[in-house]
């Protein structure tokens, strides 16, 4: 890693959740050299941050070495991607509050492929799982990488169907790589990290917190040209992903379901609000013909 990336990663270990403070720091100290010399009062002024945050940052920078910390990532085969890195997805950079730093494990070249996110309820019906099996092959046939959140239910099915059909998949996690959540997805995590790609904005030692999941969803939708929702209740994290995708100006598709099904209440509501209704596999090609062309240039959609 470059010297600057070493320092960026070093500071990010503390400021990973303090996006605005980090952004202000980078304005005042774009090379992250002065941060090691600033006093507590200077940092509080520069970052507009609480004293407790600044003190935690100063203590971390004093007790650890940037280069030694960076070597941990090399040893763990974790690649750190700043916004200046050519691998950083251009679509993701366009969203509100894009991650300052991404941690990647696996095949980094997948970041340069066409991507669509597939998400949904953690408690799918047979209909939801069968729908996943029906739709994923159409994306794989068009050389689209399937992005999801490694959660139970539809997310897991999306990853597994992509793998089963010899396609590619990216899992975006709500924690660092040292904590796999949910724990029963350990084998799936390692399979994706070995043959595909796992991505997060959290340093390796960070455990998942409840609020990490909706924040994580902006990455899932933000790096994707289109977002597909398969089953979602009225109050669902998948609907947050859909709302974010709409705000980001992306295509949003929803699979219609029975009006008596709780798992379909959210997706039916999305269709009412204007999301594209998925009637069959051909819906994607009819709505996004260039994106779904097998020979389309990926850079146009990343």
What's the domain count of the chain?
2
Say how many Å lie between the first and final Cα of the chain, rounded.
Answer: 24
What does the pLDDT read at residue 260? 86
Is residue 205 located within the same domain as residue 289? yes
Q: In this structure, is residue 178 part of a structural domain? A: yes
* Helices first, then strands: H and E counts in the chain: 13, 9
Is residue 168 located within the same domain as residue 63? no
Is residue 110 located within the same domain as residue 195? yes
Could you tell me the CA-to-CA distances from 36 to 6, 45, 213 in Å, in that order?
13, 15, 32
Name which of 146, 147, 226, 216 is nearest 181 in CA terms: 216
Name which of 300, 98, 122, 128 is nearest 199 in CA terms: 98
Question: Distance (Å, rounded) from C-alpha 5 to C-alpha 264?
Answer: 44
Please write the tens of the pLDDT for every residue from 42-93: 999 999 999 999 999 999 999 999 999 999 999 999 999 999 999 999 999 9
What CATH number should be reported for the domain holding residue 144? 3.40.50.450
Task: Count CB-CB contacts under 10 A for residue 280.
Answer: 10
What does the pLDDT read at residue 236? 85
The single-letter DSSP state of residue 249 is T
Contact present, 28 and 48 (Cβ < 8 Å):
no
Q: Is residue 78 classed as helix, strand or coil in its secondary structure?
A: coil
Name which of 183, 176, 279, 270 is nearest 229 in CA terms: 270
Q: In this structure, is residue 88 part of a structural domain? A: no
Is residue 66 located within the same domain as residue 112? no
Is residue 110 located within the same domain as residue 229? yes
Mean pLDDT along residues 214-224: 97
Least confident of 140-154, 192-206, 232-246: 232-246
- The β-bridge relationship of strands 197-200 and 226-230 is unpaired
* Total-model pTM: 0.95
Task: Count CB-CB contacts under 10 A for residue 75.
Answer: 8
Q: In this structure, is residue 198 part of a structural domain? A: yes
Q: How many Cα atoms within 13 Å fall on the side-chain side of residue 231?
A: 23
Please write the tens of the pLDDT for every residue from 85-116: 999 999 999 999 999 999 999 999 999 999 99
Q: In this structure, is residue 98 part of a structural domain? A: no
Question: Distance (Å, rounded) from C-alpha 151 to C-alpha 180?
Answer: 10
Is residue 112 located within the same domain as residue 21? no
pLDDT at residue 1 is higher than 70: no
What does the pLDDT read at residue 2? 65
Alpha helices in the chain (DSSP H): 3-15, 19-28, 40-47, 51-63, 66-75, 90-93, 126-141, 154-164, 186-195, 212-222, 237-247, 265-272, 282-287
Q: Is residue 148 classed as helix, strand or coil in its secondary structure?
A: strand
Q: In this structure, is residue 281 part of a structural domain? A: yes
Q: In this structure, is residue 293 part of a structural domain? A: yes
Q: In this structure, is residue 226 part of a structural domain? A: yes
Is residue 52 located within the same domain as residue 122? no
Q: What is the domain extent for residue 201?
A: 106-301
Is residue 26 located within the same domain as residue 115? no
Contact present, 191 and 81 (Cβ < 8 Å):
no
Mean pLDDT along residues 196-222: 97
What does the pLDDT read at residue 16? 96
As a whole number, the mean pLDDT across the chain is: 95
């Amino acid at each position: 890693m470059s010297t600057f990336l070493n320092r960026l990663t070093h500071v990010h270990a503390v400021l990973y959740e303090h996006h605005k403070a980090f952004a202000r720091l980078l304005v005042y100290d774009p090379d992250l050299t002065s941060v090691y010399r600033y006093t507590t009062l200077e940092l509080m002024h520069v970052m507009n941050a609480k004293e407790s945050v600044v003190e935690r940052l100063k203590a971390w920078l004093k007790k650890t070495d940037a280069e030694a910390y960076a070597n941990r990532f090399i040893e763990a085969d974790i690649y750190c991607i700043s916004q200046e890195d050519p691998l950083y997805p251009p679509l993701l950079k366009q969203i509100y509050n894009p991650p300052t730093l991404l941690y990647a494990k696996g095949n980094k070249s997948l970041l340069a492929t066409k991507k669509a996110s597939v998400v949904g309820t953690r408690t799918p019906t047979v209909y939801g799982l069968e729908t996943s099996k029906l739709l994923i092959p159409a994306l794989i046939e068009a050389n689209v990488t399937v992005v999801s959140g490694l959660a139970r239910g539809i997310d897991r099915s999306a990853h597994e169907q992509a793998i089963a059909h010899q396609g590619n998949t990216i899992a975006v996690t709500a924690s660092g790589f040292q904590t796999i959540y949910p724990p029963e997805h350990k084998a799936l995590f390692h399979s994706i990290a070995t043959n595909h790609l796992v991505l997060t904005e959290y340093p390796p030692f960070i455990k998942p917190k409840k609020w990490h999941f909706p924040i994580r969803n902006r990455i899932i939708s933000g790096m994707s040209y289109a977002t597909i929702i398969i089953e979602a209740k009225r109050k669902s994290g998948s609907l947050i992903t859909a709302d974010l995708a709409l705000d980001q100006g992306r295509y949003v598709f929803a699979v219609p379901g029975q009006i008596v099904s709780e798992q379909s209440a959210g997706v039916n509501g999305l269709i009412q609000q204007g999301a594209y209704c998925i009637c069959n596999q051909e819906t994607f090609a009819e709505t996004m013909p260039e994106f779904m062309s097998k020979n389309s240039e990926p850079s146009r959609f990343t």
